[in-house]
Every structure is written in C-alpha cells, then in structure tokens.
Amino acid sequence: MTAEVGIVGERLIPRPDRALFWPRGKALVIADPHFGKAEAFRAAGVPVPGDPAEPLGRLGAALDATAAEHLLVLGDFWHAHEGRTPGVVAELTAWRAARPDLSIRLVRGNHDRAGPPPDGWGDWATESRVGPFVLAHVPEEADDGYVLAGHLHPGVVLGRERLRLPCFWFGPRVGVLPAFGPFTGAATVPIRRGDRVFAVAGDAVVDVSRL
C-alpha cells in the first residue's frame, strides 16, 4: 500500500528513495542531496565510500517511476566547495543533458556557497512558490502557503532497539523532507501531537504518526 498524506487539499506521496511526489503538480521534490559529499571527505583525507552516480541514478529512477515533469530541490544541492570536483560537475551536467524536457527549480541552501549549479540546472532562488506550497530550505512558517523544506535531515527513533530512521515530517504549516543524499545522517525531531510522520525503512515508507 502506498503511503500518502493530504496537505492543503493536495495529495503527497513520500517515497522510499526519500523523494516526495506531488501527483497533481507532476512534481518530484527532494531536499539536501549534498552532491560531492564523499569527494569533500576524501579531499580532507577521510576515506569514505560513495559514488556520485548513485544519487543521480536513484533520482532518475524516481523521475521515471512517477513520470514527474518537474524537479524541485529544497537546498543544499552541494555539500562543500571541495566536493565540487570536475568529475562531479561532469556527472551532473551529463545527467541534466540527458533530460532536456525536465523543469528544475533550485532553492539555495546554506551549503550552496560551494559554487553555482552545473550547466543546465538553472539558478538559485531563496524560496519559490508552486501552487499552494512555498519551497524553502530552512523550515520556517510562511504567511502565503504551506512550506516544504529540508535542512534538518529529520529522523525518528523507533522500538526498543532505538533504531533511528530518516523520515518525512509534516506539521500544520511546515513539512520537512529527509536528506536525499547518502550518509547524511538523521537528527531526531520534536514530533508534536497531530503531526504526520513517515519513516523510511529500506524499500518501504511506514506511517509512524500513531506509534
């Protein structure tokens, strides 16, 4: 059964790949891809795994599965300047060139001081309005719409084993997406009564709002 949530009269579908699909808007929303994070760590002498093609492959698969025509990125496209290597930029540029009909909107995050977006990806916006939604990086309430944001890398702790899982967290006026990028971690968020929370558990999305 597909997990979904109704927000301001719109149907939203949290996906196990940590993207959010908005069917009526034909839009796929992601937050915090942190492209180049592995390369930034390696530049600092930290040997970490990571293939720049992995998140792009996951993103392409999500777009194909949903037939989304629009990609909305809620900030922290980059991780750090050191990770904005020629190889990473080339991977991103080639991925974009292979999808010329895809519309992309980029919201600028605090990590995006690393440099401009790759060719074809467009330019940064501080925030953007799409239908009833305000697209932002930092999850702060807005007067003119329901905010979709990232930045926090939200997580929820479940069970006696205290397992921390990334989650989608929807409050009354702000929804926060999990980080799309790999090995970004998850910070436990203060869930309130009435919030809708969906944990990402492997290949499943589980509604844990009432657990």
Mean pLDDT of 154-172: 88
The dihedral through the CA atoms of 144, 188, 124, 122 has a sign that is negative
**What is the domain extent for residue 155?**
5-207
Give residue 49's pLDDT: 63
In the predicted structure, residue 126 carries a pLDDT above the cut 80? yes
Give residue 114's pLDDT: 85
Give residue 52's pLDDT: 59
CA 177, chain centre distance (Å) = 6
Q: What is the pLDDT of residues 73-123, one digit of tens each?
A: 999 998 776 768 888 899 999 999 999 999 999 999 998 898 899 999 999
CB count, 10 Å around CB of 184? 19
Q: What is the pLDDT of residues 195-204, one digit of tens each?
A: 999 999 989 9
CB count, 10 Å around CB of 123? 9
Give residue 164's pLDDT: 87
Q: What is the pLDDT of residues 53-69, one digit of tens each?
A: 788 999 999 999 999 99
| Overall number of domains in the chain | 1
163 confidence band (pLDDT: 50, 70, 90):
confident
Provide the CATH number for the domain around residue 47: 3.60.21
Contacts of 99 by beta carbon, 8 Å cutoff, 6+ apart: 60, 63
**Cα atoms in the Cβ-side hemisphere of radius 13 Å centred on 79:** 23
174 confidence band (pLDDT: 50, 70, 90):
very high
In the predicted structure, residue 186 carries a pLDDT above the cut 90? no
Question: At 201, which helix (H) or strand (E)?
Answer: strand 196-201
Question: What is d(CA 194, CA 209) in angstroms, rounded to the nearest whole number?
Answer: 8
